[in-house]
């Protein structure tokens, strides 16, 4: 398994070039940073594969540990049976050694008795006879001693063979346990590396700003405007512009406000219940920008109130599945139907905190299968060029999830309620 190699091997950035050009001179967006050196670290996809491989290896090790536990139990149970060849040989050797020991004891006793008889001999004839008996007893004792030594050697060999079989079984079991422990450590390290790579990275250069969004709007009217996405970072990104519109009014009055965005083929309506990722841009190179048309309509019965819009750039690249740009808030007034708004300027952008991000709603099958394109209308050319030109629409990644705004995730900002619409994005791989 190449898990450790996957985690340690330096890899080169291999991003696919998308239709994109540099920002024009005098742009309100920040100039892109100088391109960074190729990142010498595993991509998120490689870390994900390493984590998957480690998980599979750990599962296999756990299964092997279970099988090993059953195997050692069966082995030890078999070795404890008298019918097992090694156990039977040990028992037989024990029995033979005990018999040889008894024979030697008897022979040693005979020698002792023969010596005593020799000492008690009264005449020369008895001494000769006793000496012969002693010699025979000592010869038998030597034979018994040799037999006992041989029996003891065989018993030790039989016991060693039996014990070696038990030790070998435990060694195999320890290998299984060590493999399981190492697999667990490797899995934990791979999971930790993946989790660290999945943490959101905040970059100031990924901006989404509204254009021609009015500071006042009369109920019963419709206004066209746009927003511009600019990648002034040093990385190629898959960008998900995030937008959110809301009346500072009761929830049941939100239906008076309808916002749409152009996807190149028609108008798509924003979900009224929450935030939306719209006009995804795949492989947006450093210095590129694109503009997306939008339309906002207020029904005649809309209440006179304050309203606001939020814009932000959410993105991913080969190394980070979660790249967040700053969020901008635009406040505007809703005037009663028939009002004379007078001079209407553009709503001014302001920053807003985006620490709290609701969890995304699951995408429907239709959303998963569809790939939308941004309706690009802004000029986008190198800084040395003049005006004119257009940026081609780019496709959306089907792996990009939709966001939903949780009604309870609200925070007070000044006199108006601001919904925290940005979330800590889940780990999404970029191929």
pLDDT in tens, 201-256: 999 999 999 999 999 999 999 999 999 999 999 999 999 999 999 999 998 899 99
Rounded CA-CA distance 97/304 in Å is 109
Rounded CA-CA distance 86/78 in Å is 10
pLDDT in tens, 81-128: 999 999 999 999 999 999 999 999 999 999 999 899 888 888 888 888
The pLDDT value recorded for residue 404 is 29
Summarize the confidence of residues 327-350 as an average pLDDT: 93
**Residue 270: pLDDT band by 50, 70, 90 thresholds?**
confident
pTM listed for this prediction: 0.58
The pLDDT value recorded for residue 39 is 53
Contact 358, 404 (CB under 8 A): yes
The pLDDT value recorded for residue 150 is 96
Contact 261, 240 (CB under 8 A): no
The pLDDT value recorded for residue 264 is 85
Report the SS3 class of residue 326: coil
Name the DSSP class of 86: H
Contact 293, 175 (CB under 8 A): no
Q: What's the chain's average pLDDT? A: 77
């Amino acid at each position: 398994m190449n898990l450790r190699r996957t985690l340690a091997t330096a890899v080169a950035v291999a991003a696919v070039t998308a239709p994109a050009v540099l920002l024009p001179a005098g742009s309100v967006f920040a100039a892109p940073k100088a391109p960074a050196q190729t990142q010498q670290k595993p991509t998120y996809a490689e870390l994900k594969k390493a984590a998957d491989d480690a998980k599979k290896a750990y599962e296999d090790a756990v299964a092997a540990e279970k099988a090993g536990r059953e195997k050692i139990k069966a082995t030890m149970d078999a070795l404890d049976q008298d019918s097992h060849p090694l156990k039977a040989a040990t028992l037989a050797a024990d029995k033979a050694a005990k018999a040889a020991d008894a024979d030697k004891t008897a022979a040693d006793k005979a020698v002792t008795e023969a010596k005593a008889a020799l000492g008690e001999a009264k005449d020369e004839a008895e001494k000769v006879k006793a000496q012969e008996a002693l010699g025979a007893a000592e010869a038998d004792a030597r034979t018994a001693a040799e037999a006992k030594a041989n029996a003891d050697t065989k018993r030790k060999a039989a016991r060693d063979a039996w014990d070696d079989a038990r030790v070998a079984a435990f060694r195999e079991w320890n290998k299984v346990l060590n493999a399981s422990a190492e697999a667990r450590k490797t899995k934990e390290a791979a999971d930790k590396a993946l989790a660290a790579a999945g943490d959101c990275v905040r970059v100031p250069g990924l901006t989404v700003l509204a254009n021609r969004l009015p500071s006042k709007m009369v109920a019963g009217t419709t206004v066209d405007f746009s927003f511009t996405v600019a990648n002034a970072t040093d990385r190629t990104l898959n960008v998900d512009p995030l937008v959110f519109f809301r009346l500072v009014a009761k929830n049941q009055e939100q239906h008076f406000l309808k916002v749409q965005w152009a996807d190149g083929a028609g108008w798509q309506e924003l979900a009224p219940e929450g935030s939306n990722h719209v006009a995804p841009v795949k492989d947006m190179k450093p210095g590129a920008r694109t503009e997306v048309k939008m339309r906002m309509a207020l029904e005649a019965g809309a209440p006179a109130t304050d309203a606001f819009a939020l814009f932000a750039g959410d993105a991913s690249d080969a190394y980070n599945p979660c790249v967040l740009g700053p969020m901008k808030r635009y406040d505007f007034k809703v005037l009663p139907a028939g009002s004379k708004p007078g001079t209407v300027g553009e709503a001014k952008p302001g920053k807003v905190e985006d620490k709290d991000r609701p969890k995304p709603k699951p995408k429907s099958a239709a959303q998963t299968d569809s790939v939308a394109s941004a309706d690009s209308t802004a000029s986008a050319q190198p800084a040395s060029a003049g005006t004119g030109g257009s940026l081609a629409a780019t496709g959306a990644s089907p792996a990009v999830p939709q966001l939903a705004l949780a009604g309870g995730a609200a925070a007070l900002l000044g006199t108006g309620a601001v919904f925290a619409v940005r979330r800590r994005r889940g780990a999404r791989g970029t191929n």
